[in-house]
């Protein structure tokens, strides 16, 4: 991956600053992983650590009154080779990333996404863009999800992981390792999310890739359990929890794949490796 060096072409025209990012590693359909850590001046982009705001010491912060994380806007937009338009007269920020247009106003709780007015945070209507030490700080989940990222918060490690393109399965890794309990059952729990703006049908499948004879699996979602394939309908932006159970009848290692698909999109899968314990 190319080194990310903060370099912008900046024009000032009648109260507007236009910033064209020249630093992005995001090319074509490349998958992008960005990790922010609360109270750190660094972010990790595709495994490479860089400063969020070179030379200024700006950190990823949690605004205590909101319990929400904010970051300097360009730290994310530049990775996507996007542009930022700052209207100083109206304290308005316009972001263009690929085919996404997001307009925000400093200290205002509503924004426009592709022309549609939305709350920045449906659960906390006090959340707004703010300026800290001369930097425009944007609520990370809002801007991340609206320019195409999956955003995953890990409270224990204080890490926020952003994955592009958006994923249905809301996990930081494509592979998990679990161990069976004394009864021989191993369990993994994870959310899946409809990232679309309309109701969507998803097909789910849990596949036994390689496991000792007699092992079997099942998964439960929306108060129903399945051994094979199923289809579910999720509302726009709806997130639900999947519980997958691997029943091991002997010691050994097993490998399963949980896959989700929707129309006109390739299946998205995670690998579940299981250490069996027998019964």
Percent of the chain residues topping a pLDDT of 70: 89
End-to-end CA distance of the chain: 48
> Does the pLDDT of residue 10 top 60, yes or no?
no
* Residue 29 confidence class, pLDDT cut points 50, 70, 90: low
Instruction: Decide which of 1 and 274 is more confident.
Output: 274
pLDDT value of position 98: 87
147 burial via Cβ count (<10 Å: 0-12, 13-18, 19+): buried
Reduced DSSP (H G I as helix, E B as strand, rest coil) percent helix, strand, coil of the chain, to 5: 5, 55, 40
What's the mean pLDDT in 9-15? 41
Handedness of CA 60, 191, 47, 2 (dihedral sign): negative
Given a cut of 90, whether residue 27 has pLDDT beyond it is no
- Rounded to whole angstroms, the Cα distance separating 111 from 176 reads 37
Domain at 8-27+51-144, CATH homologous superfamily: Copper amine oxidase-like, N-terminal domain (3.30.457.10)
| Residue range(s) occupied by CATH 2.60.40.10 in the chain | 175-277
| pLDDT score at 209 | 95
pLDDT in tens, 203-257: 999 999 999 999 999 999 999 999 989 999 999 999 999 999 999 989 999 999 9
Helices and strands per DSSP (H, E), number in the chain: 2, 25
pTM above 0.95, yes or no: no
The pLDDT tens digits of the residues spanning 107-155 come to 999 999 999 999 999 999 999 999 998 999 999 999 999 999 999 999 9
∠ Cα 6 7 10 (to 5°): 130
Query: What tokens does 208 get?
Result: 């036994």
Mean pLDDT for 76-96 is 93
* Alpha carbons 25 and 45: distance in angstroms, whole number: 9
Domain with CATH 3.30.457.10 in the chain: 8-27+51-144
Cis, bond preceding 218 (omega within 30 deg of 0): no
Residue 261 near residue 267, CB atoms below 8 Å: yes
Nearest in space to 206 (alpha carbons), one of 227, 223, 184: 227
Q: Give the model's pLDDT for residue 265.
A: 80
Residue 117's closest CA among 95, 100, 131, 102? Answer: 102
**261 — pLDDT class (breaks 50, 70, 90):** very high
User: Does residue 63 have a pLDDT over 70?
Assistant: yes
- CB–CB of 160/35 below 8 Å? yes
Hey, what CATH class is 175-277 in? mainly beta
Please provide the average confidence, as pLDDT, over all residues in the chain.
88
Q: What's the pLDDT at 252? A: 94
Band of the pLDDT at 23, cuts 50, 70, 90?
A: very low
Instruction: Tell me what pLDDT residue 86 has.
Output: 93
Say if residue 163 is exposed, middle or buried (CB neighbours under 10 Å; 0-12, 13-18, 19+).
buried
Average pLDDT over residues 94-109: 95
What average pLDDT does the segment 45-55 reach? Answer: 94
Split at pLDDT 50, 70, 90, the class of 279 is low
């Amino acid at each position: 991956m190319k080194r990310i060096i903060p370099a912008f072409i900046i024009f000032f025209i009648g109260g507007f600053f236009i910033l064209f990012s020249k630093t992005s590693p995001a090319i074509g359909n490349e998958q992008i992983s960005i990790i922010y850590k609360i109270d750190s001046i660094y972010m990790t982009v595709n495994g490479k650590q860089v400063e969020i705001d070179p030379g200024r010491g700006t950190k990823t912060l949690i605004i205590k009154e909101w319990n929400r994380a904010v970051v300097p806007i360009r730290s994310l937009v530049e990775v996507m080779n996007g542009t930022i338009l700052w209207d100083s007269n109206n304290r308005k920020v316009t972001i263009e990333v690929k085919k996404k247009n997001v307009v925000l106003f400093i200290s205002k709780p509503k924004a426009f996404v592709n022309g549609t007015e939305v709350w920045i945070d449906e659960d906390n209507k006090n959340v707004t863009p703010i300026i800290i030490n001369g930097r425009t700080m944007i609520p990370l989940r809002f801007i991340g999800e609206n320019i195409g990222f999956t955003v995953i918060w890990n409270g224990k490690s204080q890490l926020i992981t952003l994955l592009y393109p958006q994923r249905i399965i809301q996990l930081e890794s494509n592979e998990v390792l679990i161990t069976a309990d004394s009864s021989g059952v191993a369990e993994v729990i994870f959310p899946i999310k409809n990232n679309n703006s309309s109701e969507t049908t998803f097909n789910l499948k849990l596949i036994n890739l390689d496991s000792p004879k007699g092992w079997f699996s099942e998964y439960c979602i929306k108060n129903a359990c399945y051994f094979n394939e199923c289809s579910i309908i999720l509302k726009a932006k709806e997130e639900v929890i999947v519980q997958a159970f691997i029943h091991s009848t002997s010691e050994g290692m097993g490998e399963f794949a949980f896959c989700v698909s929707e129309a006109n999109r390739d299946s998205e899968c995670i690998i579940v490796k299981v250490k069996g314990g027998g019964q």
